[in-house]
Amino acid sequence: MPGDFLQFKDITSFAGQKIEIKDTDKDDDYKLSWIEINDAGKKLLICDRNILKNISWNELNDQNLVFGKVVIVEGEKYILRLLTGYSEKKNYKNNEWDKYIVNPNKIDGLPPSEDYDVDNNIKKFDDEKINGNNNALWHWYNFSSFTQSEGLRSEKFCIIRGYYSTTYSKQSVKDLKYETVGYRPVLELIE
């Protein structure tokens, strides 16, 4: 369970291992923190942080972790996948990153993005963003997350979200690995 939200030095680097989400571990150091979303008959568990770095979108996809695979956790059947993440400001497609993390509709129980959360101005260690309610829950500042969404220009690109702001969106080459882009798992309940 990574806990360094400034330098992210305690996030595991991918080394080719099989990635699995299993039943809750008895050791608190290995428990993930999930945010439960119940929306229009769909139940999602979204990890509140990235849990791997130095992994590419293609490596996640090779393990069926981008668009999803069926897993059993705590006796329930889920699709393990990434959030969708097209930037609404760039192409007006509905997506889960904007809906739940940016939260413009102020969903009860989720912090909305404040003006400073959506500001893409670059500052080294912006205290207002770091200590804001949205980042305190989702841990997006200074560390982007891969999304399911593929690039608009070419199939070799994917969309990453977070880093400078909740609304920050960038196209990234699917094969590249970064210290500051990671894997944030999502579990979607299959009923």
CB 147 within 8 A of CB 183: no
Q: What is the pLDDT of residue 86?
A: 81
At residue 83 the predicted structure's pLDDT band, cuts being 50, 70 and 90, is very high
pTM of the model as a whole:
0.91
pLDDT digits (tens, 9 = 90+) for 127-165: 888 889 999 999 999 999 999 998 877 789 999 999 999
Whole-angstrom distance, CA of residue 161 vs CA of residue 53: 14
Q: Pick the residue with more confidence: 123 or 150?
A: 150
The token pair that represents 44 in the structure block: 């999602």
Q: Calculate the average pLDDT of the chain.
A: 90
pLDDT at 96 exceeding the cut of 90? yes
CB-based contacts of 180: which residues, under 8 Å, 6+ apart? Answer: 8, 53, 142, 143, 144, 163
Q: What is the pLDDT of residue 186?
A: 98
Whole-angstrom distance, CA of residue 160 vs CA of residue 61: 14
Helix, strand or coil, per DSSP, at residue 136: helix
CB 80 within 8 A of CB 30: no
pLDDT at 125 exceeding the cut of 80? no
Helix, strand or coil, per DSSP, at residue 35: strand
Per domain, the residue ranges of the chain are 12-189
Q: What is the pLDDT of residue 48?
A: 96
